[in-house]
Each structure stands twice: as structure tokens, then as C-alpha cells.
Structure 1
Amino acid sequence: MIVSLPVNWIIIIDVFAWTFFHLAISAICLKMPFSWFLKDHFWFQTFSFEQSGKLWQRLFRVKTWKGLILDGTIFLKKGYSKKGLHGTKSRDLMVFAAETKRAELTHWLSILPAPLFFIWNPVWAGWVMILYAIVFNLPIIVVQRYNRGRISAITAGTRGAMKKKLVSK
């Protein structure tokens, strides 16, 4: 701990800091251009070992608990709700897949501030903050990869033409 504070203040600062980081990172990701999420960046691609999302279902039984995760749009009153599909047309699926990329990026970035908590927390609490960041964000990342894998399998044949239409809008 670099800064020594009473426990009550540490707890208050932790709650406000996490709230700030989650909201700020979400707002930044919401401001990113939609077209950026339509691209097949390496870190967003569905890898063959994921078996179009089947790996995540087999390892974590995603279908049984993904409905329990709150959608961030209820807090920000902005964005694209991923609680369900907004349609089954190719365009709808491409938009949903792009929004899963936005959500995944948001949650990867939300893990990054965790080491800052060592500044005002005792070492053991700093590690608790890192654990919190991982436990809170990884399930959401898994759900995004699961959903995107399933959508990628469905849209594989129409992807190129649809992206051109979406980017041009």
C-alpha cells in the first residue's frame, strides 16, 4: 500500500473506483465506431478450437447461466442489448456479432485497472481486487465468445457481402 487510509475510506474508494472504471470504459467502447467491430481483428476471431462456441458450452455450461448476467445497457441506457437476437436476418446476426466484440473488448479492458488498487489497498486487498476483476469479467467474455461462435457458424457464407453493406451505412 502506497497510501495509508482507514478501512472505511478504502472500501468507499474501491466501490467508487470500480464504478468509475466500469462506466468510463463502457462509455469509451460505446463511442468506438461500429465499423471497427465489423472487422475480423485477430483477438476477436472465432478460433477453430472453440468449435463455434461448443467448447464454452462443454467447459462452462454457458446456456445454464448466461441468462443471469445483467446486460450493461440497463445501467448506461445506451448501446445494444444482447439479451436476445433483434432478428434472424443475416444483417441482424452480423450486428449482434459485432456488438459481442464491443462487449468482449469492454470486459477485457475492465480487467486492466485492477493493479491500480494496490496504491491504496493493503497487498491482500489488492489481490482481492484483481480476483474481483477476473471473476466479474471473464464469465461475460465467455458468453460473448460463445454467442459469437454460434453466430459465426450461421453467417459464414454471407459475411463478406453483408459487412460491405453495414460499413457503407
Structure 2
Amino acid sequence: MQLIELSVFWTIITDSAAWLFFHLAISIFTLHLPKHFFLTANFLYRTREWEAEGQFWQTHFNVKKYAKIIPEGSRILGSGFYKRRLKHKETTYLETFILETKRAELTHWLSILPSFLFFLWNPAWAGWVMVSYALLFNIPIIIVQRYNRPRLEKILARKKNSHSKIQ
């Protein structure tokens, strides 16, 4: 329900500024969340059985094909953890990588929520365009995290298992 009427020019300016603000604010907020916030396996980050350890996302959404064109958030913000590719397989690095996939997933789920605020100053059709934009921009990135995390967890589990057998 549109409460504020703006000209087309000011609506575009307001929409652009609002998205810039929401994207940056949410990214900075989640970047500053303490690591312990992501250590528990809560309902959001838990891999579901139907995801088949992430393979569901490759089979149905061809993640490997489009993941390469998604901008790396750490490069955009100038800080954070680089998740474009696995650099090595050290335990602490893998644990950090897994934690950062959770941070990225939370960031993009939260980035969808403000889209409904755009109905306050946009006509209904434009509000739905904003919701569509939020979904189209964020869901692919969430899918990449949900694809990568179980694969990383599997590597980490194998590494820990082989390390415990040695001792």
C-alpha cells in the first residue's frame, strides 16, 4: 500500500538510495556478527536430506555455471573472506570457509526482507518489481552457499576423520 507519492524521478532516486543503503547496512551488520553466532547448526544452515549434500542445487540450478559470474562480496566491501575458490584444505581454513558461507547466506536472506518496504513509496506494480529484484539478486547467491557448504563440510569431516585415525 503506497503511503508516499513521489515523482518518477524521485521514486527512482529513492529506490536506488534505499537499495544501496540496505545492501551496505546488512552486509556491514553481518560482517560484524561474532563468529560464535554461526557455529551452531541451526535450522537456517542445516543441510536438508533432499539437498543431497548440495548436489540438488547443481542438478536443478546448474550452480557451477553461474557461480563464476556472481560478484565476490569481499571484493566489493574491501573486507571479509574471499569465497571464490578453495585456496587450501587446512582445517582452520575450511572451518572459516564454512562459517563464511553461513554469514553470506544470512546476509542474502536478510537482504530480501527490506524489499517489502518499497511498497510504501512505490505503486504496487513497482513494489513487486522490487521484491522480484531482491529475490533474483539474492536467491542465486544463497543457492551457491547451500551448494558449497555441504561439500566443504564433507572435506573437513574426511580430513578430521583421517587425522583422528593417525593419532
Q: State the TM-score, normalized to the length of structure 1.
A: 0.90
In structure 2, stretches of 5+ residues that fail to align are 162-167
For 1:42, what is the secondary structure of its paired residue? coil
In 1, Cα distance between the equivalents of 2:55 and 2:137? 22
The 8 Å contact of residues 50 and 149 in structure 1, kept in 2 or not, is answered as: no
In the comparison of the two structures, how many residue pairs are matched?
160
The aligned counterpart of 1:130 is: 131
For 1:68, what is the secondary structure of its paired residue? coil
The aligned counterpart of 1:83 is: 84
The aligned counterpart of 1:167 is: none
For 1:19, what is the secondary structure of its paired residue? helix
Q: State the TM-score, normalized to the length of structure 2.
A: 0.91
In 1, Cα distance between the equivalents of 2:36 and 2:88? 20
The aligned counterpart of 1:101 is: 102
In 2, Cα distance between the equivalents of 1:86 and 1:154? 13
User: How much is the aligned-residue C-alpha RMSD, in angstroms?
Assistant: 1.5
Q: Which moved more, 1:36-45 or 1:117-126?
A: 36-45
The aligned counterpart of 1:24 is: 25
In 2, Cα distance between the equivalents of 1:156 and 1:48? 17
The alpha-carbon deviation at position 93 of structure 1 amounts to: 1.2
In structure 1, stretches of 5+ residues that fail to align are 160-169
For 1:13, what is the secondary structure of its paired residue? helix
The 8 Å contact of residues 29 and 105 in structure 1, kept in 2 or not, is answered as: yes
The aligned counterpart of 1:63 is: 64
Structure 1 runs of 4+ aligned residues shifted over 6 Å read none
The 8 Å contact of residues 71 and 82 in structure 1, kept in 2 or not, is answered as: yes
